[in-house]
Amino acid sequence: MTVKFNSNFCHIFKLAPVAALLATSVLATQAFAAEAEVDVMGKGNTQLEFKLAHSKDKSNNYKETSTPFLARIGVTETIEIRVAADGYIKSTVLGETTRGMGDTNLGVRWRLQESDEKTGQTGMALQLEQGLPTGARAFKSDGGSTALKYTAAWALPNDMSLGVQPGLLRVKNEDGRWYVAPSVSVTFAKSWTPQFRTVAELIAPQLTSLGNGGNQIFAALGATYSLNDMFELEVFYARSLNSNAPANNLAAGVNVKF
């Protein structure tokens, strides 16, 4: 269960005009791609993730539906390429509805070391992401964004795991000025059966001043269920812990591995 946040979440949510609110599109349920984990697909393996996401907030009568997508492509046993897209977006703010395609994000994850419960070895990975302003005018970011993340993960007894992912984000604010903000996520996962897994996450995609959109903090729960070696179902809910982002964010989808 993973979450990746749109590069446009830097804008002030509750006090912004309609155009800026639209720029917060796919805040908590964009492409499910940034869980604090070190796993990679492995050479020759690919996973495609298709989602239907919905965000809603009573403030400004905001609601949004989107179709985020993520492709994970294993190029070596330790490196995978990641291509994420916001997909088609329908966003309504103060009664005004806007439709169009969202931005694209290119990334790479490099697993430096696997976690090992028996030896206590910490899993480690680096992840670099570059947002591309490919979306429709209403949803296009100004110049894209760049994010660098480091992940530390531990395999725990009883099929549990813990991951921590600090990072840095470089993106433009509402005034068109570049700024750099720290990010962090903490993930706790439990495999109940070989098929069923649950995840609890605390996610802060940016920690910054109000002028740059303010702190963005979410508490999230999710679950995955593997139908077989090829198909996996996924559901995710994220709740914003402040007023700088949509309060309720839900997504569900299917992952296809081959």
pLDDT, tens only, 70-83: 999 999 999 999 99
Q: What is the mean pLDDT of residues 203-225?
A: 91
| pLDDT, tens digit, 9 for 90 and up, residues 124-183 | 999 999 999 898 988 888 778 899 999 999 999 999 999 999 999 998 888 888 999 999
Q: How confident is the model at residue 43 (pLDDT cuts 50, 70, 90)?
A: very high
pLDDT at 227 over 70: yes
Residue of 66, 51, 62 lying closest to 97 (CA atoms): 62
Topology at the third CATH level for domain 18-257 = Porin (2.40.160)
pLDDT at 4 over 70: no
Q: How confident is the model at residue 60 (pLDDT cuts 50, 70, 90)?
A: confident
pLDDT of residue 35: 65
Q: Residue 121 carries which DSSP code?
A: B
Q: What is the C-alpha radius of gyration for the chain, rounded to an integer number of angstroms? A: 17
pLDDT of residue 76: 97
Q: Which burial class, exposed, middle or buried, applies to 80 when counting CB atoms under 10 A from its CB (0-12, 13-18, 19+)?
A: buried
pLDDT at 114 over 80: yes
Residue of 194, 188, 181, 180 lying closest to 225 (CA atoms): 194
pLDDT of residue 139: 86
Q: What is the mean pLDDT of residues 20-28?
A: 43
Q: What is the mean pLDDT of residues 96-121?
A: 93
pLDDT at 30 over 50: no
pLDDT of residue 99: 94
pLDDT at 248 over 60: yes
pLDDT of residue 101: 94
pTM: 0.85
